Structures are given as structure tokens and as C-alpha cells.
Chain A
Amino acid sequence: MPAWEPPSGYRIPAWLRPPETMIPGIVPVELLVARTDTHAVLVSDLRAYPTGLEFAVVARPHPDQLHRPRHDPGRPRHPRYRDLWMELRFADGRTVSTDSRRWPRTFETTQPDPPFLYYHGAGGSERGWRSPHWLWGLPPPGPLAFVCRWPAGQQPASGVEIDARLVLEAADRATAVWPAERSPA
């Protein structure tokens, strides 16, 4: 058997991921974007860099939902978390979304103009679901809204607004892991 060789050196393009050689600035908020009697959607783990903002969209059921057997006909139908879309609205009127129909067709090979919102898949179960997101490009000063939508109309759109200054100040706190680096990689 030939010796094991590591995978090829493919790297996700810089505009689709946080810089790998930087320590992020932590945005000091957890955002409740949507809540019903049975489920909640949060924006969590916000980490800012000079090139953009990383965050996770987290969906959770009410703990009582986890006690109800799956076959219970009275158990409310839960929204399909994987159908959830996230939209960010900036103070200058621009919006970005994880609706892939709005993405430029060449986004994987050609750097798009910021802002661009990308997500790196998702995982979980009916006990909870998590999807890492990356915003390429920082928001302008002013209100920054996080809005979640279910395209199938399972739940109404819901959102929360923060001051983008929290993100911009956190981005200023980001530092290089190896200070001799001249630009984030």
C-alpha cells in the first residue's frame, strides 16, 4: 500500500472565510433574532476582523419540546431549520442574504464586491442547529439589522438591530497572530 499522502493544498478563498492568521475582536453581544413559544433563533459568537464578520446562526427548541415523544400527535411541528435564510441590512440601505440566488455566479472563483454573506453549511438535529456565517466586508456605521426568514413561510420574518459600532470597534481589536504578517491571510 502506498504511503498516505495528505490532501491537496486547496484553501477556501479569502473572501469566503475569516483570516486564518488573526485573533478576532469579540463583539460583546448575543442576539435573539426570533422567538416563538416553541423555538428560538439566535445570532451568536460574533467575531470581527478587518475584512469582515464571522457569526453563527443558532436555532433551538424550547426545552419542553425535547420531552415530548416524536410520535406525540400533539407535538407542534417544528420549522425546518435548514430552510432558514439570514439577511443583513446596513445603514446605507444595502442588504445581503444567504439566499444563494442573489449570489454572483462566480463568487467561488472571483472576489465579489463587499458586502457578501456566505455560510459554511450547517449541522445539528431537532435538539438544536448551528450554521457558521461569514460577512465579507464590514458594515458602515449606523444600525445593522439581522433578519431571519423561512422561505416556505413556516415562520414570519423576524429581526434585531444593533449599532454597527460594536462590530467596527471589535474589528479594530483584531490582531495578527504573527505580528510580522503585513496582511491577513
Chain B
Amino acid sequence: MSFFEPLPAPRPPSDYRVSAWARGPEGMVPGVVPVALLVARTSTHAVLIDGLLVYPTGFDFDLVVRRHPGQPRHHPDPRGWHELRLEVRFADGRSADNGPGRWPRPHRDKPPDPPWLYQSVSGPDGGHVWLWGLPPPGPLTFACRWPAEQIPPSQAELDAGLVLAAAARATSLWPDPGPS
């Protein structure tokens, strides 16, 4: 290409979008599960699940770390908070967790088989999690373990009916106007 040849037509930037199965629907108001769950507690740390917001396709929640007053927020090993492992188990035995290497390989437009867990935020205070897929009726189990902070395998259960009822309450932010 010489300096005098016309430049190619500009191309608009690509419009990357997070896959629909990796996040809650952007145009919906979620239903709220009015429960905060204590999953694990030692004399120095506690792990909570709260902020459960449910859509027809799955639910968001916060994985929350609480420290007893006087406990340092920063672990001597900066990788320590990466070791907080979370697993969500459905009543039918299916489960998903935040272990490494779980990002699905299939094509971006092909959703993974539910349940599938994606932790979008992770840090010393916990993180934010999206679970693709709704649970069947029955117990919904949240299990965690955190070797770096001496938290043994621990779990707590929630009635999945609360999640399903919240999903039914989710509404569209911009409802279709319908036929005129």
C-alpha cells in the first residue's frame, strides 16, 4: 500500500456481548429471595450467601466473607482468597462450582448444560456469582471450603421453592407493547 492509495472504509468497532448464559437478562427486573444464608462460620471468619436475585434463566447472588473484628483483611498470601471454593448442588444431584478451568469451551452461542456457575467478581471479601439454570424443587445446597482460612467443608440449604417463586416474580423492564 502506498501513501497515495485511498484508505479502506472504516469499520465500526465490534459489539462484543457477554453470552446470555453468562449473565442475567439485561432487560428484566429480577425477583428477590428474601433470605441471607450462613454457610460457614469459624471463630475468625464467616461465609454468607445473600443478594439472591432470580430470573427465568438463572440467578445472581453474592458470596460474602465476614471477618471477626481484629482479623486482617489482607491474607499474607495474596492468592489465599482464590482458594475459597463454592459449590451449588441441586436436589437432583446436579451441581456447579467455581473451580478453575470450568469456563465452557463450546461455541459462544451454545449454552452449557445447566447448572453452570460463573464468578464474575472475586476478592478478599468474597465475590459475585451467576448461576445459569434454575433448580428443581427440593433442597438447594450451597457448600464451601477455604483451606487458606481454615474453613472446613461446610454447607447450608435453601428451599429451592423460594428461588422458583422469585423467578416467577421477575418482570420485563420494557414490556412488549403488544399489537396495536
Cβ of B176 < 8 Å from any Cβ of A? no
Please tell me if B27 contacts chain A, counting CB pairs below 8 Å.
yes
Is A122 at the interface (CB under 8 A from chain B)?
no
Contact A30 B12 (CB under 8 A): no
Contacts of A26 in B (CB 8 A): 32-36, 50-51
**A30–B69 contact, CB under 8 A?**
no
Q: Is the interface of B mostly helix, strand, loop or mixed?
A: loop
CB distance from A61 to the nearest CB of B (A): 8
Q: In whole Å, how far is A117's beta carbon from the nearest beta carbon of chain B? A: 20
Indicate whether A69 reaches chain B with its CB closer than 8 angstroms: yes
Are B50 and A24 in contact, with the CB atoms below 8 A? yes
Interface centre among A25, A30, A32 (most CB of B within 10 A): A30
Inter-chain CA distance A127–B26, complex, in Å, is 9
CB distance from B175 to the nearest CB of A (A): 10
Chain B residue nearest to A38 in the complex (CB): B174
Are the CB atoms of A21 and B69 closer together than 8 Å? yes
B66:A21 contact, CB within 8 angstroms: yes
A162 at interface (Cβ–Cβ under 8 A)? Answer: no
Q: Is A47 on the interface with B (CB-CB < 8 A)?
A: yes
Q: Quick check: A6 and B74 within 8 Å, CB to CB?
A: yes
Residue of A nearest to B42 (CB): A178
Pick the contact of B36: A23, A42, A70 (CB < 8 A). A23
Number of residues on chain B facing chain A (CB within 8 A): 33
- Checking A28, A44, A185 against B69 with a beta-carbon cut-off of 8 angstroms, the contacting residue is A185
Report Cα–Cα, A32/B68, bound state, in Å: 36
| Cβ A20 vs Cβ B69 within 8 A | yes
Roughly how many angstroms separate A34 CA and B36 CA in the complex, as a whole number?
Answer: 27
Is the CB of A78 closer than 8 A to any CB of chain B? no
A29 within 8 A of B: yes
Residues of B within 8 A of A178 (CB): 41, 43, 46, 68
Given A69-B15, A70-B13, verify A42-B66 contact (CB < 8 Å). Answer: no
Q: Chain A residues with Cβ under 8 A from B51's Cβ?
A: 26, 45, 47
Which single residue of chain A is at the shortest CB-CB distance from B174?
A: A62
Residues of A in contact (CB 8 Å), total: 35
Cβ of A183 to closest chain B Cβ, rounded Å: 11
B34 — nearest CB in chain A belongs to which residue? A28
The CA of A29 and the CA of B53, in the complex, are separated in Å by 10
- Contact indicator per residue, chain A 115-150, by CB within 8 Å of chain B (1) or not (0): 000000000000110000000000000000000000
| A181 vs chain B, min Cβ distance (A) | 8
Instruction: Report if B48 contacts A (CB, 8 A).
Output: yes
**Docked pose: A4 CA to B43 CA in angstroms:** 26
Residues of A contacting B30 with CB < 8 Å?
30
Contact call A20/B66, Cβ cutoff below 8 A:
yes
Assess whether B105 is interfacial by the CB under 8 Å rule: no
Can you list 8 A-B contacts (CB < 8 A)?
Answer: A21-B68, A23-B36, A23-B50, A26-B34, A32-B173, A40-B174, A69-B13, A70-B12
Q: Which residues of B contact A (CB under 8 A)?
A: 12-13, 15, 17, 26-27, 29-36, 38, 41, 43, 46, 48, 50-51, 53, 62, 66-69, 72-74, 76, 173-174
With A20-B67, A45-B62 known, 15 other A-B pairs at CB within 8 A are A20-B69, A23-B36, A24-B36, A26-B32, A29-B32, A30-B30, A37-B174, A47-B50, A60-B27, A62-B27, A62-B174, A127-B26, A177-B41, A177-B66, A178-B68
